[in-house]
Amino acid sequence: MYVAVKGGETAILNSYKLLAEQRRGDTAHAELTIDQIRQQLKLSVDRVMTEGSVYDPELAALAIKQASGDLVEAIFLLRAYRATLPRLGNTCALDTTRMQLDRRISATFKDLPGGQVLGPTYDYTQRLLDFSLLANAQEIESKTTALDAPSAPLPPLPLSSVPPVSSVPAVPRVVDLLNQEGLIERFERSDHDPAPRDLTREPLRFPADRATRLQNIARGDEGFLLAMAYSTQRGYSHSHPFVGEVRLGQVAVEIEPEELGFALSIGEIEITECEMVNQFAGSKTEPPQFTRGYGLAFGQSERKAMAMSLVDRALRAEELGEPIESPAQMQEFVLSHSDSLEASGFVQHLKLPHYVDFQSELELVRKMRARLSNPDETPV
C-alpha cells in the first residue's frame, strides 16, 4: 500500500460498503441470483469462463455478480481463484469430431456430411430493440403460452434417449473435403509430439511455438483479438479468410490414469470450435494451397473463436514464409498485449497515487521552462 494512502484506510473500507450497496441496487427490487445470471446471461458467463481459464458456470456467474457485471473484473476474480486450485491431473486431447452438435455451420460448402445445423444464433436476427422484454414476466409467459404452446403438453424426453457424448458418432470436418484433394495443409498427429508449454506455470518466451500462442490467445481479451482479426481483413495481413466450420456442442473430457492405461470420461463441457480456411499463394517450399487458422473457446463464444482463428493464421506468417509487415503478424506485439488482466491492471493502476513521481516531473518541467526564459543563466 502506498504510504500516502495509509491515512485513508477508513475511507477505503467505507468504499467497500458503498460498492456493496451499489452492487445490490434498489432493495425494492428482487436481488439478482447466481442461477439467473447463469441461465439468462449465458454468453457473458461463457466469456468469463474462457478468459478466466476455468470451466465452471456457477463460479463465473458469481464473479459477474460480484463485479456488478464488469466482465473484465469478473475474469480477474475467476482467474485469481483458479490460481489457488490444486492440479489433480491432465486430460486427454479433446476429440471434437465426436462433439454432440447444437450448431454447425460452414461458409465454404453448402452440403456437408452430417448436414448444417443452424442452432441458436443472432446471425439472422434484426438488430432492433425488443420492447416486449420490458413487459412483466407473467405477461410474456402468458403470451408465449397462448401463441406457441402446443394444445397438449409434450412428454419429457427420457434420459435414455440422449446418448452420452462419448458414444456420439464422429462427424467429419469440413477441411476433410479439401484434404481428399490435397488442397489444404495437413497436420499429422504423432504420439511423440512434445507436451505443450503450460502458460499458467511458465512465463511466456519469444519466439513462441504455435501451441503456446494458441494458449495465450485463448485466454486473450475478446475485444483485442477482434480488433486484430479485423485488421487482417482490412488488408493488414496476407490472407483471405473463409469460415471452414464453426461448431458448438458438448464434448467429452477424458483422463487416462497411469495405473489403468486407458481413458475414462469424467464429464462433458460445452465448447465452440472454429477452423478458418485461408488462401495461400505458396512459397519456395510449399505449393499453392489453403492454410488453416484455429480457434476454440468455452461455451457459445463464436466471435472469440473466429477472431482467435484469424489471429492464429496471421501469427503463422514466418512459418509459411510470408513477410511480417502488420501488427497481427507480430507475435511479440499480439501475445504481449492480448491479456485483458495485464492491460486492465496497467491502465487502472494510473488511478492510484503517483504524487512523488508527478512532483519530480513537475519540478523538471519548471526547471526546463525557467532555462528557456533565461538562456544566459548558468544552471545550478
Per-residue pLDDT tens for 162-210?
556 556 677 878 877 777 777 777 776 666 667 778 888 888 999 999 9
Query: pLDDT grade, residue 272 (50/70/90)?
Result: very high
Q: How many helices (H) and strands (E) does the chain have?
A: 13, 4
Domain ranges of the chain: 3-82, 96-125+163-187+207-338
Q: Cβ distance 297 to 212 under 8 Å?
A: no
Cell 473466429 belongs to residue: 306
29, 120, 128, 147, 364 from 141: Cα distances, Å = 20, 20, 21, 10, 67
Distance CA(28)–CA(363), nearest Å, equals 53
Whether 267 shows a pLDDT value over 60: the answer reads: yes
Neighbours of 250 (CB within 10 A): 17
Name the band, by pLDDT with cuts 50, 70 and 90, for residue 157: very low
pLDDT in tens, 53-66: 999 999 999 999 99
268: enclosing H helix or E strand? strand 264-280
pLDDT in tens, 76-95: 999 999 999 998 888 998 99
pTM of the model as a whole: 0.83
